[in-house]
Structure 1
Amino acid sequence: MGLIAEFRMTSKELPLVDVAEGVPDATVEFESVQGRPSGAPTFIVRIVDADADAIEAAFADADSVTDHSLIVADGATRRYRCRPTGGPPTELELLADNGSIPDRVLATPSGWEERRWFADREEFDQFRTFCRANDYGFRLDRLVETDEGSDGRATGPFGTSDRSWPREMTDAQREALVTAHEMGYFDTPRAATMADVADELGVASASLSERLRRAQNHLVTEFRRTSGIKPRTN
């Protein structure tokens, strides 16, 4: 038995909130946080639907992160590397033994919107205590128990569904994933390019790339949930 929590943390002090303020109509999403033996971690951030100059201006004006650099640009999606400024949050020891897993973290002009997996209510309460200790406003939107039903179907925040497809995968993402597989996009060596699959589906390569990334993310999330594997901490 586990918990999936969807919540909002409100604070102007959270990293990337000031960047999101500079591009209010864009999606600003954490893709990963890479720890380092010493010093601040490195953020990999995905920004969608924002002008490149506007993003650069937002980073330049931001105080919460530093040393930003563009990793790759693919159509409307741009990925950046940056580091948070300032010291670590207080009461960090409260999270030392917390095994929760972030599933999605979005930076918004008012804070973070997050979906996170918790092993039990104790882990959830521990995380919420950490937020309050650091003066982060915490608004819970949804808290749902999740487990494996006796009929082999998964129950969770999006209802009961056949486990052969992860929850939230759209029809377009599913079609992109299956078509790419059938055309040999995932073969080694590849039998089809991104452009080949995009032409088959009648979409732009950038749109296909986004659909495949989200579809693969859902697959990995579902595998992680059912296998009990947690991410590396170093």
Structure 2
Amino acid sequence: MIEECLVAEFRIDGDDCPLARATEEVPATVDAAAPQLRADGNVLLHFSASSDDRLAATLDADDDIRYLHVTRGDDAHTYRCLSKHPCVVHELVDVGFLVESMEYNDGGATMRGAVVGYDVLRGVMEKAGHTVGIQLQRVYPLRSDETPPVGRAWDLTPAQEESLRVAVEMGYFELPRTITAEDVADELGISKSAFLERLRRAQQSLFGTLFG
């Protein structure tokens, strides 16, 4: 039995997939579930973004996107579609990277997931080193208190869950507030606007679960 499970975060730049191209054209942050690769090489995508119809129009005009469906909400839109363009993340999946979430912005993506043991991590790192545009951002042991994830109970993405946890730990929700959104964003290594967008989506999910 493998005792060590590690959480790893990679940044992908230069991947010519539809979501990367769309966020390069439209100033949006896309929270995506792990892409599901079909046997025919096509990919099933499920993701959400702020309620900006320009993103839907850009994706709908992309020849690599098929069967685009958009569920529109006041604060965010949820998308489901088929992509004819496989993401480079599947190259890491093939060597043992368990993708939990992906966030697209500015034409690139940050993906977060797990690797079971250091031997698998070495294989993933070796593959990443031979794949253009993939860089390791950070890696740390999976904590025992992360199982089961809070996000599973409250329908949060790992990125949203992490943002809420860090904000709480830093005292962002205390009154009077002494920590700013920019402080939390710096701790997370993301922009202030990206943090606030994660926070709004997390609140929407939490309140939606609480109040139906």
Q: Same fold (TM over 0.5)?
A: yes
CA distance in 1: counterparts of 2:34 and 2:90, whole angstroms: 22
Q: Name the Cα RMSD after superposition.
A: 3.8
User: Could you tell me how far apart the structure 2 residues matched to 1:131 and 1:122 are?
Assistant: 14
In the alignment, what sits opposite 2:58?
A: 58
Say which SS state the counterpart of residue 75 (structure 1) adopts: coil
1:149-175: CA deviation from partner (whole Å, max 9, x where unpaired): xxxxx389xxxxxxxx9974848xx9x
Cα distance change, pair 170–137 in 1 and its aligned pair in 2 (3 A): closer
Greater fraction helix: 2
Contact 1:22 1:57 in 2 (8 A): no
Partner of 2:141: 145
Shift of residue 33, structure 1, vs aligned partner: 2.8
Is 1:211 the counterpart of 2:212? The answer is no
- Matching residue within 2, 5, 23 for 1:2: 5
Residue 147 of structure 1: how far off its partner (Å): 4.4
| Cα distance in 2, alignment partners of residues 213 and 118 from structure 1 | 32
| Structure 2 residue ranges without an equivalent (≥5) | 148-153, 169-200
For normalisation by structure 1, the TM-score amounts to: 0.55
In our comparison, the structure showing a higher alpha carbon Rg is 1
Following the alignment from structure 1 to structure 2, what is the Cα–Cα distance between the partners of residues 101 and 58? 29
Asked whether the 8 Å contact 2:15–2:88 carries over to 1, the reply is: no
**Sequence identity percentage:** 19
Q: Tell me the CA shift for residue 28 of structure 1.
A: 0.6
Q: CA deviation at 1:57?
A: 3.1
1:85 aligns with 2:84: yes
Structure 1: gaps (5+ residues) = 149-153, 157-164, 175-205, 216-234
SS in structure 2 at match of 1:135: coil
In structure 1, what residue type is equivalent to 2:206?
R
Match of 1:69 in 2: 68
- Report if the CA contact (8 A) 2:9-2:139 is conserved: yes
The residue number in structure 1 matching 2:44 is 42
In 1: Cα distance, 2:89 partner to 2:110 partner? 20
Find the counterpart in structure 2 of residue 103 from structure 1. 100
Question: How many aligned residue pairs are there?
Answer: 162
Q: Is the 8 A contact 1:95 1:130 kept in 2?
A: no
Q: How does 1:56-205 map to 2 (within 5 A)?
A: 56-60=56-60, 62=62, 65-86=64-85, 92=91, 95-96=93-94, 98=96, 100-138=97-135, 140-148=136-144, 154=145, 168=162, 170=164
The Cα offsets for residues 65-102 of structure 1, whole Å up to 9 and x where unpaired, read as: 4115224112121122223334675994x74351x322
Deviation of the 1:20 alpha carbon: 0.9
- Relative distance call for 1:35 and 1:88 in structure 2 (3 A) is closer
Number of the residue aligned with 2:188: none
- Is residue 31 from structure 1 mapped to residue 33 from structure 2 by the alignment? yes
Contact 1:59 1:68 in 2 (8 A): no
Name the SS for the 2:142 alignment partner.
strand
- 1:38–1:14 distance in 2 versus 1, CA, 3 Å: closer
Question: Could you tell me the TM-score, scaled by structure 2's length?
Answer: 0.59
User: CA-to-partner distance for each residue in 1:126-166, whole Å, 9 max, x for gaps?
Assistant: 2233333331231x322112344xxxxx389xxxxxxxx99
